[in-house]
Amino acid sequence: MRLAIVGATGAVGHELLSVLEQSSLNFSELQLYASPRSAGSTLSFRGQEITVQVTPDGAIPADVILASAGGSVSKALAPAWVAGGALVIDNSSAFRYDDDVPLVCPEVNGEAALRHHGIIANPNCTTLIEVLVLAPLHRVYGIKRAIISTYQSASGAGARGMEELETQTHMVLHGKVAEASAFAHPIPFNLIPHIDVFQPNGYTKEEMKVVWETRKIIGDPNLVISCTAVRVPVLRSHSEAITLELERPATPEAARELLRHAPGVEVRDDPSANLYPMPLTASGKYDVEVGRIRASLVFEGGLELFVSGDQLLKGAALNAVQIAEYLQERGALKLGVGQV
């Protein structure tokens, strides 16, 4: 199986390489692509230096392409990659809402990946982190309404966002003025309730992604859900406060027990020991942390909870690799179709 990464030099590309190092995914060749800026540089993988190539305008000689170079690159080039015979697992939002493109979180709706037509979309990072927790609760208790508030790290804006947080924090601490570039406003010592572009309904696109994508992955187009997405000066890992109104009442104890058995989830919930989800403990971890599980004071029989998950891992790179693993384990990766 010939594997390619487009966007290999970015924040998610970096994580893809490290997840692939540990992965059981079986491949014979790894090709790395980025923009002309990075052409000729090398990245190391399992002790070997691999040269980064310029992303070509047309087909790529690979069986599976993990794309993480942004929506415009995917939109422009993925059709040619598919025409060349490759399966594209796309990390951008370019195809997520197309009816014939599965949007897949393997722990929740892995079987949807089997019905692809050349492109599988990797969901939005904030959605992936909550859907691992919401899907099992929905199955047992039926979510009537979900209200989500997010605390999203700088890593959501890629390597540029992380660098801006670090350099500007240093600048501000030394009395210098920070000019925002990756974000709409300076990020050090601030909160920015604005991620992606505003929509006609007053929500941001990031907030609507959570609504649209949670419904598509869970397979319930009527799920009532709303989100307020906020960028916070945290380097890595997104957190979310979630309020749930349920069809059937849940106790925190029963919810905790259910989530202990949910794949991809770690229950971290012992307030007496100051144990709860945090970006610092979630970073670098494959599982998403859930805790602060308590009975809702607003919705009788409902729940309040808090999740933290590594946006670059489960929220992006890890999920993409897990989709490829899911297909390979089921013998569903068609190889050698790409004749380029």
- Catalytic machinery residues: 125, 238
Choose the stretch contacting ligand A2P; rule: CB under 6 A; options: 23-31, 42-50, 66-74, 190-198.
66-74
Which residues are registered as beta bridge partners of 288?
A: 265
Between 162 and 323, name the residue whose CB sits nearer to ligand A2P: 162
Q: Is 124 in the site for ligand A2P (CB under 6 A)?
A: no
Between 34 and 333, name the residue whose CB sits nearer to ligand A2P: 34
Q: Is 9 in the site for ligand A2P (CB under 6 A)?
A: yes
8 Å CB contact between 233 and 189: yes
Q: Is 18 in the site for ligand A2P (CB under 6 A)?
A: no
Binding-site member from 3, 7, 129, 136 for ligand A2P (CB under 6 A): 7
Q: How far is the CB of 281 from ligand A2P (least distance, A)?
A: 24
Instruction: Tell me how crowded residue 261 is: count the other CB atoms within 10 A of its CB.
Output: 9
Q: Which residue is nearest to ligand A2P (CB)?
A: 10
Q: How are strands ordered across the β-sheet holding 288-295?
A: 224-231, 143-152, 238-246, 303-309, 288-295, 265-267
Q: How many angstroms separate the CA atoms of 309 and 105, rounded?
A: 14
Largest CA distance in the chain: 60
Q: Is 160 in the site for ligand A2P (CB under 6 A)?
A: yes
Q: Is 35 in the site for ligand A2P (CB under 6 A)?
A: yes
8 Å CB contact between 264 and 287: yes
Q: Is 37 in the site for ligand A2P (CB under 6 A)?
A: yes
| Alpha-carbon distances of 177 from 17, 23, 95, 197, 284, rounded to whole Å | 36, 43, 39, 25, 32
Q: Is 69 in the site for ligand A2P (CB under 6 A)?
A: yes
**SS3 state of residue 223:** coil
Q: Is 187 in the site for ligand A2P (CB under 6 A)?
A: no
Q: Is 23 in the site for ligand A2P (CB under 6 A)?
A: no
Binding site for ligand A2P (CB under 6 A): 7-13, 34-35, 37-38, 55, 69-70, 73, 158-160
